[in-house]
Chains A and B, each alone.
Chain A
């Protein structure tokens, strides 16, 4: 009965009024093209329509060849990073209505090699991420130790927990000005993750991690522009992590 009344109530509301937006998508195939070109599509949208949904609408109804990487559609997998109206953002986490523009321009992320259109290669990001040993390092483990788990106080957890929210979307690396000029720079994503493990009270690999990042294209190349922290969709502050890591290297933190 409740269901029926619900339906009746819903049918009395007027249908939402769709607006339309021009979605300008960058198209490039590095195998054939030297430069990006843009294709415009007029897409209807609702208040809740995300940029990713608009791109999928284009793929469904206009041009199925638009290349885009996506998966979870809820800002968890980190697949759909791209430049939206000039700023690195997750397409699934950006509503067209919030952008407030009549033209929404989407381009592939900066500082990443382009596969095609909006899809980019993540090898460099993952290589840098693996380089800083993103796991707890200690000789014993929960299995060999007499304790069933390594306990941590809320204060110890607080030191690094925000950095554990990283979804490896690459937006921070895309926004980083040093990444644009230094092709060997380790990048804010990997540095933030280095801090995440260095600050973890259960970890014993601090010295080896600090040695990895204290090299000519490591932590000291950061100019502290802070762009990485501004674009992170998960509220991670890589710039702060980098400053904390410098504190460890300069002996201000232990």
Chain B
């Protein structure tokens, strides 16, 4: 559970930085295609987005795992929930990372 608290605190700090970065330009402008691509190509910022993705995925799927474990108990069920949540978490991180990687590899 410490990982739950740790990821939440770290995510709050980094998401705050992320929101503040959005405020440096107009909100609508920050969501324009070129602007988003430029953000992904700026490696320090892309790295921070990647870390936010990892932190929120761990936090979110661990939270979901805990809720599911409270709903029902049983050895097989608990194992399935834990492994299922880890697999879903890895899948989401891989899908999110794919976007950053594609931009930086010139595929977009």
Contact = CB atoms under 8 A, between A and B. Distances in A.
A220 interface: yes
Contacts of B73: 182-184, 217
A182 B71 CA distance: 7
Interface in B20-43: none
Interface residues of B, number: 10
Interface string A205-237: 000000000101100110000000000000000
B81 to A, nearest CB: 10
A183 B73 CA distance: 7
Contacts of A220: 1, 4, 66
Interface in B50-108: 66, 69-71, 73, 78
Contact of B70 (A181, A249, A250): A181
Size category of the A interface is 10 to 19
A182 B2 contact: no
A178 interface: yes
A219 to B, nearest CB: 8
Contacts of A214: 1
- Name the residue among B1, B2, B4, B69 with the largest chain A CB count within 10 angstroms: B1
Contact of B78 (A216, A221, A250): A216
A177 to B, nearest CB: 10
Interface string B1-18: 110110000000000000
B55 to A, nearest CB: 18
A250 B2 CA distance: 7
A249 to B, nearest CB: 7
Contacts of B70: 178, 181-182, 221
A249 B2 contact: yes
Nearest to A218: B1
Nearest to A184: B73
A211 B108 CA distance: 50
Interface of B: 1-2, 4-5, 66, 69-71, 73, 78
Given A182-B70, A216-B69, A217-B69, 16 more contacts: A178-B70, A181-B70, A181-B71, A182-B69, A183-B73, A184-B73, A214-B1, A216-B78, A217-B73, A220-B1, A220-B4, A220-B66, A221-B66, A221-B70, A249-B2, A250-B5
